[in-house]
Structure 1
Amino acid sequence: MKHNSIFTFLFALVALLSACSVLASPVAKRAPPPPPSTLFKVDRPSEGTTYSVGEQVYVHTENEGGSKGEIYKKNPDVKLSLQTKLPMPDINKVVVQVVKYQTLANHGIYFTVKDEYLSKNPKLKYRVRASFYDNGKQRYVDSAGFNLARN
């Protein structure tokens, strides 16, 4: 009988300590993304522009130094994604296209707005995120905020 009560007491003590350590641990937070790259900027689409379903959105970049600039010479692949303009966007991320940097700088690209890109919140702004690798590190640049609308 005495062994059972000691075992029960030790089991309860271990359970209590485990619960306290779980409750005392900090809540896991996502780390904020690194700051955007300054190697170039996405100058189109423009701030506040509204595009309707079926319309084409023009995406263009420019960099300091033009064709003599560092990013232009490296000519990395750039992944263009459509995102909601939120601090930590996990929703509505659509890969629009992957292109070479020089194509974006010289000609830009177009993508067509599709109904499935739109959020249920009509006031939500969107952005184009240009992701690329620079010296082995993933970097990004965001466009200004723009609107998508149904016809």
Structure 2
Amino acid sequence: MIRDDIKAAQIAAMKAGDKDSRNAISLIQAAIKNRDIEARTGKAPDSDDALVVEVLQKMVKQRRESIEMYEKGGRPELAAAEAAEVAVIERFLPAVLSDEETTAAIEAIKTEIGASGMKDMGRVMAELKTRHAANLDMAKASGLVKAALA
């Protein structure tokens, strides 16, 4: 489980005296704990790993947006700190599908559900998210689905 890997990495970072990794992992654990609390009142993902991956993907997206803003604002030291956090967070994410693999998955779903045009984009995206949410960049996949259905 990803949650166990994160705890083991926290302990290893503490033993190694790696303050930056330890701090980033602490942020990960806090975000996961917050999501656990939210899941008590709302709909939780089917598996624990899905919940953790969802949190990690959100954290990476937030940090990438921050990096972009820091670079535009002329703050390279803050952008570097965010990039270091992204590197730590990405260690726990499953491998992301390549563009070719994503396109193949889209074509398989398109054939399976009989999608023929842009009106079926929602169905294709929903099925893609159901099957590959953990290892897929949904923003990139959206563009590929549009291209496949156009």
* TM-score, structure 2 as length reference: 0.28
* Higher-Rg member (1/2): 1
**Greater share of helix:** 2
Q: RCO greater where, 1 or 2, for CA within 8 Å and sep 6 or more?
A: 1
Which is richer in strand? 1
TM-score norm. by structure 1 comes to: 0.28
